[in-house]
Structure 1
Amino acid sequence: MVAARAIIFHGTGGSPDVCWYPWLAERLKGRGYTVEVPHYPAINVEPIATFLPRVLNGHRFDEDTVLVGHSGGAALLLALLEHVDVTVAQAILVAGYCTPPNAEEEPVLQPSYDWAAIRSHVRDIYFVNSREDPYGCDDRQGRAMFEQLGGTQIVRDDGHFGDYDQPYDQFELLDRLIP
């Protein structure tokens, strides 16, 4: 059964029209998904405590929803999954992190997480990280989340999976992971 909805969250300083986001959106639409790729310039700029309510109120989440987040968007998924009031079908955190990955400010992170609540709000979760990520969103970050939440950790050697200096227009792995 194809899930009804997919929401793709871009990373810090990103937008819906960069990296693999438009490509994945089109692939999923072709399979019958309703796809949202919202633009959130305040992601990882505004503190999560004030930013998260707008995200929660700006979208509809149900048991057929698939969530995909990249970098800061993946970190956002942790807070979203903790506070959403339904169990979604799937979440894929690409270059995600749960603790500060470098010396930069990370307003998208909560001070702590209710891992049991996050686990209870997603049926299937993937962590896709690289061994060498220029921002520190690496396999150790993926492992830290995997150890708390279970699911599946996938480790690649693909940098940040798209960035200003890393063209990454397609992401076949994500297309295969989403039913």
Structure 2
Amino acid sequence: MDRKAIIFHGTGARPDVVWLPWLRRRLVERGYTVEAPHYPGLNVESITTFLPKVLANHTFDASTVLVGHSGGAALLLAILEHIDTKVDQAILVAGYCTQPNSEDEPVLQDSYDWAAMRANVRDLYVINSRRDPYGCDDRQGRAMFERLGGTQIVRDDGHFGDIDQPYETFELLDRLID
């Protein structure tokens, strides 16, 4: 079976920032087909109109690995709820499921069907930092872990990459992806 990964950047970002290009190269070297779309509407447009566009642009199956950073991880929650198949893995880096700060978060849904999300992923990792400057912290990770299960990983690595936080590689992700 052909392995595929889809890597979703965070709010206001692009697929060529922080560790995203490095992870893409590593997975291609390992034989994955990798998609790293640019979604400037992420967390700008309401999830109710944004999500159908994302779902129409990708196919998901049992060999798909999903990786999302920050707003991209929040997007993964909606994707997992609304796909009609089970994916292999989902890794939510600096993700959140409730308002993490005072900023508007149109990527968040009003409510979630956590059981549907659990049913649509074989293996799930939630990775957050104790000291995230945007509030995408270990408490957000715990909230997702308690509802979704999987594995929660807590680090002290800020936002795992940002304008003022170079984070060119992310070895942990390479090890977690089957």
| TM norm structure 2 | 0.99
Separation in 2, partners of 1:118, 1:17: 28
Kindly provide the CA deviation profile for residues 126-149 of structure 1, in whole angstroms up to 9, marking residues without a partner as x. Answer: 000000100000000000000001
CA RMSD, aligned part only?
0.8
1:125 and 1:151 in contact (8 A); partners too: yes
Correspondence 1:10 to 2:16: no
| TM norm structure 1 | 0.98
Aligned residues: 178
Kindly provide the CA deviation profile for residues 13-47 of structure 1, in whole angstroms up to 9, marking residues without a partner as x. Answer: 00010000000000000000000000000000000
Pairwise CA distance, 1:3 = 5.8
Correspondence 1:127 to 2:126: yes
Kindly provide the CA deviation profile for residues 77-136 of structure 1, in whole angstroms up to 9, marking residues without a partner as x. Answer: 000000001000000000000000000000000000000000000000000000010000
Aligned pairs for 1:1-179 (under 5 A) are: 4-179=3-178
Pairwise CA distance, 1:4 = 1.1
Structure 1 unaligned regions, length at least 5: none
Partner of 1:43, secondary structure, is coil
**Following TM superposition, where does structure 1 have runs of at least 4 consecutive aligned residues deviating by more than 6 angstroms?**
none
* Amino-acid identity (%): 75
Q: Amino acid of the residue matched to residue 17 of structure 1?
A: D
Separation in 2, partners of 1:76, 1:68: 10
Q: Amino acid of the residue matched to residue 164 of structure 1?
A: I
